[in-house]
């Protein structure tokens, strides 16, 4: 599908800057660079975002960032041409929904321990479709398309392939089930949480 509205945050093929950078890293053509933001504030996000990286992660698990600040920071980051990633506090479907409806290009979900948890995370992040018949993300407010520089229609058509899902492996149980978690369709990345993982040993 051809995109008429393009920007540094979404290229002409509709890929986010995050997705494009991860594909570049996978192909050994350069790193995917980002920063971790744990403090609230639209102005702070606006300062951090254009410093030469591909993504900024808004940490809503351990960071001091509420719904209001998350929305403002996502807007500031995406309007700077950088992909906003949100680490949500837990894998609850309503938390997934709030982050994606605010315009996150990806979510990071802590403490994923089983294949079943991974499947529920994917289903809560995907609109129902042929590829994801069990997806149950609801169509809500049109804040998200603005963060992708897309119309509402184009966002809905492409969200299932453009929004990324990262899960954290942080516990002994997660390590034991990591291969099954990795096989779940829709999980794009496994992130090893070194601090909690070390404490679990």
For residue range 133-171, list pLDDT tens digits in order: 999 999 986 789 999 988 899 899 999 999 999 999 999
* 5 band by pLDDT with thresholds 50, 70 and 90: very low
From 42, 62, 68, 105, active-site residue? 62
pTM of this prediction exceeds 0.75: yes
* 72 band by pLDDT with thresholds 50, 70 and 90: very high
Q: How far apart are CA 137 and CA 9, in angstroms?
A: 23
Task: Decide: 10 and 161 in contact? Cβ < 8 Å.
Answer: no
Q: What is the pLDDT of residue 7?
A: 57
Closest Cα to residue 16, out of 31, 30, 29, 32? 32
| DSSP code per residue over 42-74 | HHHHHHHTTTT-SEEEEE-SSSS--HHHHHHHH
Q: How far apart are CA 88 and CA 99, in angstroms?
A: 7
Q: How far apart are CA 132 and CA 110, in angstroms?
A: 22
> Does residue 62 carry a catalytic annotation?
yes
Q: How far apart are CA 159 and CA 140, in angstroms?
A: 13
Q: What is the pLDDT of residue 39?
A: 95
- pLDDT at residue 175 is higher than 80: yes
* 1 band by pLDDT with thresholds 50, 70 and 90: very low
Q: What is the pLDDT of residue 6?
A: 47
> In this structure, what token pair is assigned to residue 192?
């090893």
Task: Decide: 102 and 70 in contact? Cβ < 8 Å.
Answer: yes
Map out the domains of the chain with their CATH numbers: 17-200 (3.20.20.60)
Q: How far is CA 124 from CA 25, 68, 116, in A?
A: 28, 21, 12
- pLDDT at residue 3 is higher than 80: no
Q: Which residues pair with 167 in a beta bridge?
A: 109, 190
What mean pLDDT do residues 20-42 have?
95
Give percent of the chain above pLDDT 70: 92
Length of the chain: 201
Residue 28 backbone dihedrals phi, psi, to 5 degrees: 60, 40
């Amino acid at each position: 599908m051809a995109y008429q509205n393009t920007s540094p945050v979404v290229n002409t093929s509709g890929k986010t800057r995050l997705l494009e950078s991860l594909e570049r890293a996978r192909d050994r053509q350069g790193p995917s660079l980002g920063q971790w933001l744990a403090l609230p504030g639209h102005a702070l996000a606006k300062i951090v975002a254009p410093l030469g990286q591909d993504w900024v992660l808004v940490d809503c698990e351990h960071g001091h960032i509420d719904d209001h600040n998350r929305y403002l920071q996502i807007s500031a980051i995406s309007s700077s041409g950088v992909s906003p990633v949100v680490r949500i506090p837990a894998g609850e479907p309503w938390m997934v929904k709030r982050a994606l409806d605010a315009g996150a290009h990806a979510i990071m979900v802590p403490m994923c321990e089983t294949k079943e948890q991974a499947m529920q995370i994917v289903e809560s992040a995907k609109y129902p479709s042929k590829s994801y018949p069990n997806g149950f993300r609801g169509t809500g407010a049109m804040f998200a398309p603005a963060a992708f520089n897309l119309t509402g229609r184009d966002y809905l058509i492409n969200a299932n392939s453009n929004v990324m899902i990262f899960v954290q492996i942080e516990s002994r149980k997660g390590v034991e089930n990591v291969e099954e978690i990795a096989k779940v369709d829709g999980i794009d990345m496994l992130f090893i949480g070194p601090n909690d993982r070390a404490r679990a040993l």
